[in-house]
Amino acid sequence: MKVLVIGAHGSVGKILVKKLQESQNHFPIAMVRKKDQLEAFKEQGVETVLADLEGSISDISQAAKDADAIAFTAGSGGSTGADKTMFVDLDGTVKAVEAAKDAGIDRFVIVSALGSQQWLEDPHPDWLDQLGPYYPAKFYADQWLKNSGLDYTIVRPGLLSDDEAEGKVKLAKTLVESGKITRSDVAQIIIDSLDNDDTRKKEFDVISGDTPIKEALKELEQ
């Protein structure tokens, strides 16, 4: 399977590209928006395409034309303003979903944010209001994906860390507690989701826990 990694130069994206490159079943296509990023991936022997989530749907579709699946790991980051949150996390997701449809790609795995599915609940958890437009952007982006007809998997990780991979998680459609998870484990969850057809049309919160990743995905609510 060729997997277009959107956000390949990001913290999760870089790990995912490396894991895909080392795997025996999948091949990464790194989508980046800067030429220096493109050259860096090419030097690593990674197939790379240049496209921008703030560009056109047709540009993204062209970048995806050789892919079998899309892994969306892009995000505006904590240091940007509300405009970038809306243009990348919301509008960028919508464009990527529409580009997938245009390119004939059915499989779409996205990294969202723990608890974002609770945005419209009244009342919802107080902490969803602490990051401005971030959680509503994630919520509505995920809703667009869910209504797209694509075979989606929505991964909603807790607070991301750069610690060594643990390989064990706790996941559920909605977790009552928050927690951390390593970026490496999130990347592995994406790969294992691609390998597991039972994760199609599924969404879940996930943090570090006691259950091996593959086993936890098998136990997802049907």
Sign of the C-alpha dihedral computed for residues 166, 137, 95 and 171 taken in this order: positive
Of the residues 134, 135, 140, 152, which is catalytic? 134
The distance from CA 207 to its chain's CA centroid, rounded to whole angstroms, is 15
Q: Answer yes or no: are the C-beta atoms of 146 and 154 closer than 8 Å.
A: yes
Helix (H, G, I), strand (E, B) or coil at 96: helix
| Residue burial 53-85, b: 16+ Cβ < 10 Å; e: rest | beeebebbbbbbeebbbbbbbbbbeeeeeeebb
Q: Is 152 a catalytic residue?
A: no
CA atoms of 61 and 133, how far apart (whole Å): 27
Q: Active-site positions?
A: 134
